[in-house]
Amino acid sequence: MNIAFGCDHAGYEEPEPYYAPTIIDHLESLGYSVQHLGTHGQGSVDYPDFANKVAHAILDGSAELGILLCGTGTGISIAANRHRGIRAAVCVTEEMVQFARAHNNANILCIGRRISSIEECKHLINSFLGTDFDGGERHVRRIDKMDELA
């Protein structure tokens, strides 16, 4: 499975370990193919630019799922959710992640450098990639309605 990853400068925020490379190493160790769409360093950038890159990777089919990281996960999720067909969920517990996949068919997980430890992030990512959409009619109807009403 192809995963698109994006972050703002929070991905390289001190102290080490830097979250972005650690998350990418984690994904690759699990056998996923990862596109790191930036940012790639500590220079201050604008999170909408990287939300946009990951959203487009999913919408054009080059990635099946995405992971976005900023300081809190909030700004980058708001930016990603401006794209029709993107369902980006900020999650801080594994239960939130599992429902985001099973009920909301979330296609991007958003995590916060200043909110979750790197080990917590790995667990959130494992749950995200290990949970399928349950496909229930009511969930499909509600997801379709989000795009119809947008």
- Active site residue: 7, 9, 70, 83, which one? 70
Q: Strands of 2-7's sheet, edge to edge?
A: 33-36, 2-7, 65-70, 108-112, 88-90
Which CB, 72 or 116, lies closer to ligand RB5?
72
Q: Which residues contact 7 (CB under 8 A, 6 or more apart)?
A: 19, 20, 38, 39, 50, 68, 69, 70, 76
Contacts with ligand RB5, 36-75, as mask; x by CB under 6 A:
-----------x----------------------xxx-xx
Q: Is 40 a catalytic residue?
A: no
Residues contacting ligand RB5: total by CB under 6 A: 8
Which CB, 8 or 109, lies closer to ligand RB5?
8
Tokens encoding 32 = 């996923």
Element (H, E) at 24: helix 19-29
* By the rule CB under 6 A, 10 interacts with ligand RB5: yes
Q: How far apart are CA 80 and CA 48, in angstroms?
A: 7
Residues involved in catalysis: 70, 103
What residues make contact with ligand RB5 under the rule CB under 6 A? Answer: 8, 10, 47, 70-72, 74-75
